[in-house]
Chains A and B, each alone.
Chain A
Amino acid sequence: MAVNRNFRTCPSSGLVFHEPAEKLIRWNAVAGVVSLLVGGVLALLVTLTRWPAVKLLPPDWFYLALTAHGLDMLVFWIIFFEIAVLYFAASTLLKCRLATPKVAWVAFWLMIVGALTNNFAVFKGDSSVMFTSYVPMGAHPLFYLGLILFAVGALVACFVFFGTLVVGKAEKTYNGSIPLVTFGAVTAAIIAVFTIAAGAIILIPTFLWSVGLVSHIDSLMYRTVWWAFGHSSQQINVAAHVSVWYAIAAIVFGAKPMSEKVSRTAFVLYILFLQLASAHHLLADPGLTSNWKIFNTSYAMYLAVLASMVHGLTVPGAIEVAQREKGFNKGFFEWLRKAPWGNPSFSGMFISLVGFGFLGGISGVMMGTEQLNLIIHNTIYVPGHFHATVVVGTTLAFMALTYFLIPTLFRREVMFPGMAKWQPYVYGLGMCSFSVFMMGAGTLGVPRRHWDMAFSGAILPHEFPGTAYLMMGIMAVSGIAAVIGGGMYLAITVGSVFFGKKIQTPDFKHVPVRQGMAPAPVPVAAAPSGHGSIGIGGFVAPGTFVLAMIFLTSFILYYFVNWKYLSTVWPLK
């Protein structure tokens, strides 16, 4: 057999790495981090330009930087890292070989060529069409071609992931159902397949339009189909980062989900309904009926929101149960006070969870309500919302996972451990504040994507209140703090991977699978029937219950405050 089936067991974590999978995970993660570096530098430039007192870049450079920032962060950084997570969740967690590593390398190089081509088109200066690239605003054909190549590579990688599930099942490397974290990765991969297919449906004709082979693309048709790609790509992130939350809870605390059934059902709700939320981008568009808008954004999306609330409850709940079983059982919050706040994997994950729920989640539901959407449509509130979901939620969760992967995957000690302790706080809290003040300014009507919020020289100028300028200033200062946090992350990861002290793996050896290295199936242990005497008043996780009630109260208050606000900005008598 020419199949490479080499495995390595990590002495510290006990994880089994298939060597070709390990290499692919590393390369995808590194490609992601390089994209993060480029996107991070651009983030600083964009932030300093939107700061009214600074206005760093001229308009053409601003739109170029904003386009490249959106693509490098929302597409390249996150999807490269997600592919690494998919390979990890399939090959490493199922302890099986990666299906078709050669095809996985083809996928990787397609993604690299696609990302470079797209960046080349943007930096050339004639493709400053923003992340959304709405027609009839046209970009250079290489812009679309790069995205298509990247999407094809990512799609192939998703099928390598599904193939690995088949390999694991066929070679009986696990018993019963796949682990919950892998199930979350399946959810992410399914959403990715839909996302990429939708991208192909719209980007291929747009590419043909850009080279003159198609005469016209209807702008509303473009927007409708494009958002099935554009927004769903962010739903891949949600599924992936929720999986990372579960993984980190298990790694740091040995926490088991409070109810596997409930958590898996929540992931199924994501599979069925999460992508439909794309419709909230079209709530102000004529041509689509309220039936379509309300079904997709309200009825269906709320089921996906329910799933997020389930995850937001079960992850801290599982941590609380694990902590209480270790003896931190006093009062409501001893488990939380005595959590390892100096461990960046935990602190990053927890800030990600709280920030995603309180800022990204609540604002997302508000935006997804057709009437309320009118208050903030196309204002800077929108990027405020998605920086809370994609940056605080996804990026910070991925950063938290990196601190675990450096010693286990890259076999290096984490450099600058003192800085690593602080990094999630600087980045996470900076980004939370950034999102809050963006949303605040957006509520006052400050437009998104605009180089000059003062509309200097416009025929119909608009005077924003001083508070809007103040909020934009605080937003920029918070953004700079987050960029510093991002720089800390890059210094730690790049330093550790290239210059960190090597961790020797004494039992690392190449062994053909026929000699017994394919891990034998291990019967799944019976689930414990109870949690003993932990908790308060019959609740095993009372602290999480209190947190959930605080969340619900905030949710309801914010929702109704916005209805009240709507009645003042849109007086009907």
Chain B
Amino acid sequence: MSQVPASPAPADDDMHDEPVPMMQQLIDNPFLLLFLGVAMPTVLYIVWGVMEIVGIPIAK
């Protein structure tokens, strides 16, 4: 295993040199997705919904 074939090495280097697109970086980060996947419904569904319920005037 100590000998590395000559031809694949440049390809590997090319692979590492190629910048990873931003969208792919986002998609490849499960913890960032986890944050977004929890934050979005928490804000848009739960927080917004609860604020609307809390804002209902109480009958006198």
Give B34's nearest chain A residue, CB to CB. Answer: A190
Stretch from A271-279, A363-371, A399-407 that touches the partner: A271-279
Given A275-B45, A523-B15: 8 more A-B contacts, CB < 8 Å? A162-B31, A186-B33, A190-B33, A193-B34, A194-B41, A201-B46, A276-B41, A287-B56
Which residues from chain B sit less than 8 Å from chain A, CB to CB? 8, 12, 15, 24, 26-28, 30-31, 33-34, 36-38, 40-42, 44-46, 48-50, 52-53, 56
Which residues from chain A sit less than 8 Å from chain B, CB to CB? 162, 165, 176-178, 183, 186-187, 189-191, 193-194, 197-198, 201, 218, 220-221, 224-225, 228, 232, 264, 268, 271-273, 275-276, 278-279, 282, 287-289, 292, 295-296, 300, 523
Q: Are A197 and B38 in contact (CB under 8 A)?
A: yes
5 closest Cβ pairs, A-B complex: A190-B37, A275-B41, A271-B37, A224-B49, A194-B38
Q: B24: which A residues are within 8 A, CB to CB?
A: 177
Q: Are A225 and B38 in contact (CB under 8 A)?
A: no
How many residue pairs at the A-B interface have CB separations less than 8 Å?
89
Q: B12: which A residues are within 8 A, CB to CB?
A: 523
Question: Looking at chain A's contact residues, is the secondary structure mostly helix, strand, loop, or mixed?
Answer: helix
A398 to chain B, nearest CB (A): 22
Question: Looking at chain B's contact residues, is the secondary structure mostly helix, strand, loop, or mixed?
Answer: helix
Q: A276: which B residues are within 8 A, CB to CB?
A: 40-41, 44-45
> Which of B8, B24, B40, B45 is most buried by chain A, counting CB atoms within 10 A of its CB?
B45
A194 and B42 alpha carbons, distance in the complex (Å): 8
B57 to chain A, nearest CB (A): 11
Give A273's nearest chain B residue, CB to CB. Answer: B40
A278 and B45 alpha carbons, distance in the complex (Å): 8
A225 and B53 alpha carbons, distance in the complex (Å): 11
Q: Are B50 and A224 in contact (CB under 8 A)?
A: yes
Partner of A288, one of B8, B30, B37, B52: B52
Q: A287: which B residues are within 8 A, CB to CB?
A: 52-53, 56
Q: Are B45 and A289 in contact (CB under 8 A)?
A: no
Give A235's nearest chain B residue, CB to CB. Answer: B41
B11 to chain A, nearest CB (A): 8
What are 21 pairs between A and B in contact, CB < 8 Å?
A162-B31, A165-B30, A176-B28, A177-B24, A190-B37, A191-B37, A197-B38, A232-B41, A271-B33, A272-B36, A272-B40, A273-B40, A278-B41, A282-B49, A287-B53, A288-B53, A292-B48, A295-B44, A296-B45, A300-B44, A523-B8
